[in-house]
Amino acid sequence: MALKLWEKSVEINKDIERFTVGRDREMDLYLAKYDVLGSMAHITMLESIGLLTNDELQRLLAEMKLIYAEAEQGRFTIEDGVEDVHSQVELMLTRRLGDVGKKIHSGRSRNDQVLLDLKLFTRAQIKDIAEAVQQLFGVLIQQSEAYKDVLMPGYTHLQVAMPSSFGLWFGAYAESLVDDMMFLQAAYRLCNRNPLGSAAGYGSSFPLNRTMTTELLGFDSMNYNVVYAQMGRGKMERNVAFALASIAGTLSKLAFDACLFNSQNFGFVKLPDDCTTGSSIMPHKKNPDVFELTRAKCNKLQALPQQIMMIANNLPSGYFRDLQIIKEVFLPAFDELKDCLQMVTYIMHEIKVNKHILDDHRYDPIFSVEEVNRLAREGMPFRDAYKKVGLEIEAGQFTPVKEVHHTHEGSIGNLCNDRITALMHEVTEGFHFERMEQAEKALLGR
């Protein structure tokens, strides 16, 4: 049975239908359980303003909980001839309950319905991403502490520069994730506002109680202006994509470092054997394929905000079908980033560190600054000390003291990992995911 919420009496061209529907039915499977959840809040509100009886509401809610469970278990499908998830849910309810199933759309449009679905989906995905970031952060801090006394060369311009440490290296990426989480929290706050009740972007003549649906769904607030609620389509996805891209940028840089440091010319780290592959011709090879793919996937994710921006660019206010295409690049991005986070967390936990890098005399010059600073502390003018050490290096007479005594905040001897961890905890607590979780459990009766 074909069902389109807008269909009247004109039969449409099948090629046109294929082109306009596109991958929407496939993408809508991401949104299925959120469509049901939003509808449950909506009909609860409809009953409160007299558009449904309490008996109708209870029958609808009971069936919707069953459909939600199907979606949660991956058993929800959109049948051939059914245009989208909204149509499929309404069709299922109508089959099971008769005409009462047709009443759930009162007071809304597919425009605010899909806006709501996208926001409910996105905030849940942000929670998953935040949890995955916290797991990686924990491993990086753990490794930073474990290897805080193991020195390694630091580089500028890919030239050996000054002493660094594995404590600094692991910890640097941990703190980068804190900034990424701040960005993600801002994206979550922008996402966590209720568009339901804006209908097609111009409101409804029904006396909708938008505050009620906002509270039922655990939103922080609503998108108050109904025109702006519709204008948020594409904007929300773009802003969230920037936050995902920020995390992806951290992972990509870490992957590049690890690939470089794993190579024979560096030999600073050894990646887990199960994360490398061999060559079809060179028996000695162990290629860092997992990190190379992570780098590529994360670089692709960093292009996501621009993709969304170009799709939605220069559209005036109001709804346009262009926005449908954003789903195709936006919805799958969360799983891809979560996959990368899982891989990086595993590798960072299993990575082996070379504790004897600086036994190699090629790295002796990295201690030149330490020697210059020692002479300056003893009273020699800095420029004279700089020249003296420089001439010793040129003459091959420089003998380094391979010790560092950095004590200021954030340096080799004072990593401030406790402060970085406290900052991550503060940011994490600031999401207040519990509001969303409690509201959804109450709505589902769990």
Q: Which is the catalytic residue, given 9, 157, 205, 280?
A: 157
Per DSSP, the three-state class of 200 is: coil
**Cβ contact 323:311 at 8 Å:** yes
Instruction: Tally Cβ neighbours within 10 Å of residue 383.
Output: 10
Percent helix, strand, coil in the chain (nearest 5)? 65, 5, 30
349 among known catalytic residues: no
How far apart, in whole angstroms, are the C-alpha atoms of residue 24 and residue 397?
Answer: 70
Amino acid at 6: W
- Sequence-distant (6+) residues with CB within 8 A of 212 are 44, 45, 48
Query: What span, in angstroms and rounded, lies between the C-alpha atoms of 91 and 73?
Result: 20
User: 270 pairs with which residues across the strands?
Assistant: 352
Helices (H), 147-225: 166-191, 210-216
Cβ partners under 8 Å of residue 9, min gap 6: none
Please report where in the chains the tokens 């949104």 appear, as a residue: 31
Contact between 263 and 271 (Cβ < 8 Å) = no
Cα separation, 122 vs 128, whole angstroms: 10
157 is catalytic: yes
Closest CA to 255 of 351, 143, 134: 351
Structure token digits, residue 363: 């790295």
The label of the residue with tokens 């992972």 reads 251
Of residues 241, 215, 217, the one with CA closest to residue 334: 241
Which residue out of 221, 263, 279, 317 is catalytically annotated?
279
Cα–Cα distances in angstroms (integers) from residue 270 to residues 246, 274, 351, in the given order: 27, 11, 6
- What distance in Å separates the CA atoms of residue 293 and residue 127, rounded to the nearest whole number? 24
CB 249 within 8 A of CB 237: no
What are residue 284's phi and psi, to 5 degrees?
-85, -10
- Contacts by 54-59, CB closer than 8 A, 24 or more apart: 56/100, 56/103, 59/97, 59/100
Which residues are the active-site residues? 157, 279
